[in-house]
A = this chain, B = another copy of it.
C-alpha cells in the first residue's frame, strides 16, 4: 500500500476545502482545476485520482461550503433562545462582513445562478447540501408542521440570499447598504408573518400559466 488511506483522505479534504472557498469567491467558471490544485499545494495531474471530473468536485464542495456557512452563521451560542439565534442569523447574514467576504459565506448568493445552469450531478449535490442547511435553519423557525418549516426556511433563505446578492452586485455603496438594511426589516416581517400561519394548503400553482403577458 502506498501512503496511508488517511493521507489520501486528508489530501482530498484539503482540495475540497480550497475549492469550496475558491468557488464562492470566483464562481464555478472562474475557478480552474489547476488553480485549485496548486492552491492545495499539489499539481494539476493528480486531481483525477481524487475526483472523476470538475463537476464531481463542485458537487462535493457544496456540502463543505454550506457546512462552513452554518458554522459561521447558524450555530447558536450556549444558552441562547431560538428567537435570539434567529435574530443573530438574520443580522449576520445581512451584514456588511458577510457581503464583503463571500469566500467563507453562504453558498446560495454566490453560486445559485450558476448552479441553475449546471449539470445534473452538480445540481444534485447542491440540492442535498441545501436541504440540510435549510433544515438546520428551520429548527429556529416557528410553526408546527416540520415540512412546512423546511420550506419556510428555504424561502427565508432565498429572500436574504437575493438581497445579499444584489448588495454585492450593485455599484453604489450607499445603495448596497440600503438594500441590506431594508432586507433585514423584510426578513423580520417575513418571520413575523410565520407566527399566524393559517393553512393555505389548498393554494396551487396552475399548470399552465402566462407570465409574460
Contacts and interface: CB of A to CB of B under 8 A. Distances in A.
B170 A123 contact: yes
Contact of A113 (B27, B96, B151, B156): B27
Most buried by B among A130, A155, A168: A155
Most buried by B among A111, A158, A161: A158
A130 B26 CA distance: 22
A72 B104 contact: no
Contacts of A170: 123, 126-127, 130
Nearest to A177: B205
Classify chain A's interface size.
Answer: 35 or more
Given A29-B29, A155-B186, A205-B96, A211 B169 contact: no
A177 to B, nearest CB: 6
A166 to B, nearest CB: 5
Given A97-B210, A181-B203, A203-B213, 16 more contacts: A27-B113, A27-B114, A29-B30, A92-B211, A98-B212, A108-B166, A112-B169, A114-B114, A126-B171, A127-B172, A154-B178, A154-B179, A158-B163, A158-B166, A161-B166, A186-B190
